[in-house]
Structure 1
């Protein structure tokens, strides 16, 4: 970084109303609770946004405290590389990692991908999520989104065959991926996979609970299966090779873009396909993940489309096409 002034750190919890409700197998929510980190030096401020996730034992308050706990280290010269060892993988490190990279780009007058030696992001197609509900409710939501080329369907266990059949009827031309969020069991796994195969689902995400997914290595998988809750960073990859065909890389799990980029390279070397995913959050959380899109078979960065309103200067969405961020937003 070019300025000699020590950086200043600020962070806060933000709440973003969701358009309607977002429902998965673990429950429903009507707002996205995010934590914003800002690292400033001189007239420049780098920003990063994260989503603390209760599934991983995170709270907004603890995440905020973890971010603020690095203030002294940042003033002493903590950079992105040192940050990887200073905080564990997770939401807090993600916000700081992305904020530091954003600041570095602003101070240097270069785009983040140029600093990292990565390809310039291009517009790409993102999945659009259909929340879990009754087959009738999901069919009605799908009918409104049937022109979108890629739909991600949230499932919940019992009755999922009826749900996915109802969705397919309303979106005969869309590519479908489904996400069970750990809700299937050994008793219904093969039946639900067969139901997905019958309607041409391309990918099934996290059917069994993390740590209880060994059965996936012992059955025929008629549809490709993607790890989400079972995979966090590079250390997670090796033991999943026999169980999964793809992995979902989310910056809130990896602890930022720095680890996510390294993880994508390692995963591809092991033969995994890549999904780049997100939590429900604003465009500021999506923007860094755009640097992974060119390596991904599936891009799932629709978080802002699920909100009642996005951050000012957010990403441009044209239907299901999402465009790279402007410098004022990030990077």
Structure 2
């Protein structure tokens, strides 16, 4: 097997602002694994808070001895070895995981949702994300989100009420809220959630800092809306300890090292009675299409990462009438655009 990787900078259509940061680009590394005349594609998308960079991803990928892989089907041997190469580097690990899954699906001639036995008609609607901004820009972005059935809004600063009121001045579309750990006082958080429950909000994602699990559990007991873990839930080992603290978890390939672990996290969450959300970073249609293969298994999806960028270099899963639509392309369902 031959490995190729190269940096790629994702250019956002709008500045993306959350409670802790703002950016207009996202660094990424694109991966190709070639074997028997077939190329599998993967992607590491790395917003700054992940702690990874194009340079760190390249260093990690260079640790992987692709030439030693003689049978790419042996995922249960290959992927644990990749995970053990170095701590962290979850996005870089996800890029290799995605590329291996893509190669296997292409070799078999079928998409992964079929390999998992999933019904593509059961994909959920996906939300459209609106970052923190001025009321005027929020209203503009809300109008752009008209085809979507759910709007996801970033909160966590002192503009929370303005953000919601700006959206509600334009649309009655249901909203999900991501506070990105922005609320640090549980009593204030409860007051915010009680008000949000009157504004057509479906659930709250990561209301409090990930270190404040006791406060979050207190909040969950009193909250009129479900609480979903994001920063508190990175990998499989995190899932069980979040039972009783959150009502559900948000799984992202870039956090959990890819499709293999994401599938296991969904299975465990279901066994524990937790709801499941499938999320993303700003990503090309490579990583988005990979995550979309799992989407028939989840309650909610936030897979709008590719529509938030201006320079997508792949075609893949699409959003039709607000719903994720899977193609019959083999592998992860993504095709690299020429050029």
TM-score by length of 1: 0.90
SS at match of 2:201: coil
1:97 aligned residue: 97
Give the alignment of 1:182-261 within 5 angstroms.
182-186=181-185, 188-219=188-219, 220-261=222-263
Distance 1:213 1:164, change over 3 A: farther
Report the Cα distance in structure 2 between the residues aligned to 1:170 and 1:74, rounded to whole angstroms: 56
Report the Cα distance in structure 2 between the residues aligned to 1:109 and 1:213, rounded to whole angstroms: 45
1:81, CA displacement in angstroms? 1.6
Q: Is the 8 A contact 1:126 1:302 kept in 2?
A: yes
1:110, CA displacement in angstroms? 3.0
Distance 1:97 1:72, change over 3 A: closer
Q: Is the 8 A contact 1:154 1:178 kept in 2?
A: yes
Report the Cα distance in structure 2 between the residues aligned to 1:243 and 1:127, rounded to whole angstroms: 24
SS at match of 2:132: coil
2:165 aligned residue: 165
Q: Is the 8 A contact 1:52 1:63 kept in 2?
A: no
Distance 1:119 1:18, change over 3 A: same
Match of 1:262 among 264, 273, 282: 264
Report the Cα distance in structure 2 between the residues aligned to 1:57 and 1:201, rounded to whole angstroms: 31
2:337 aligned residue: none
TM-score by length of 2: 0.88
1:86 aligned residue: 82
The farther-off stretch of 270-279 and 155-164 is 155-164
* Correspondence 1:121 to 2:120: yes
Match of 1:71 among 65, 72, 85: 65
Q: Alignment length, in residue pairs?
A: 323
Match of 1:27 among 11, 21, 25: 21
Q: Is the 8 A contact 2:113 2:119 kept in 1?
A: yes
Deviations 1:140-188 (A, max 9, x none): 322342452110001132231232133223211x111011111111153
Report the Cα distance in structure 2 between the residues aligned to 1:246 and 1:72, rounded to whole angstroms: 36
Report the Cα distance in structure 2 between the residues aligned to 1:111 and 1:188, rounded to whole angstroms: 46
Distance 1:143 1:195, change over 3 A: farther
Match of 2:56 among 54, 59, 62: 62
Deviations 1:228-262 (A, max 9, x none): 00001221012211211111011111101001001
Report the Cα distance in structure 2 between the residues aligned to 1:139 and 1:72, rounded to whole angstroms: 48
1:155 aligned residue: 155
Q: Is the 8 A contact 2:177 2:203 kept in 1?
A: yes
1:3 aligned residue: none
Distance 1:19 1:276, change over 3 A: same
The farther-off stretch of 178-187 and 253-262 is 178-187
The farther-off stretch of 175-184 and 85-94 is 85-94
Q: Is the 8 A contact 2:256 2:262 kept in 1?
A: yes
SS at match of 1:208: coil
1:9, CA displacement in angstroms? 0.7
1:106, CA displacement in angstroms? 1.7
Distance 1:196 1:85, change over 3 A: farther
The farther-off stretch of 152-161 and 298-307 is 152-161
Deviations 1:54-97 (A, max 9, x none): 32322221112212211257446674222124325611111111
Report the Cα distance in structure 1 between the residues aligned to 2:114 and 2:137, rounded to whole angstroms: 45
SS at match of 1:202: strand
* Correspondence 1:49 to 2:43: yes
Q: Is the 8 A contact 2:111 2:330 kept in 1?
A: no
Q: Which stretches in structure 1 are left out of the alignment for 5+ residues?
A: 1-6
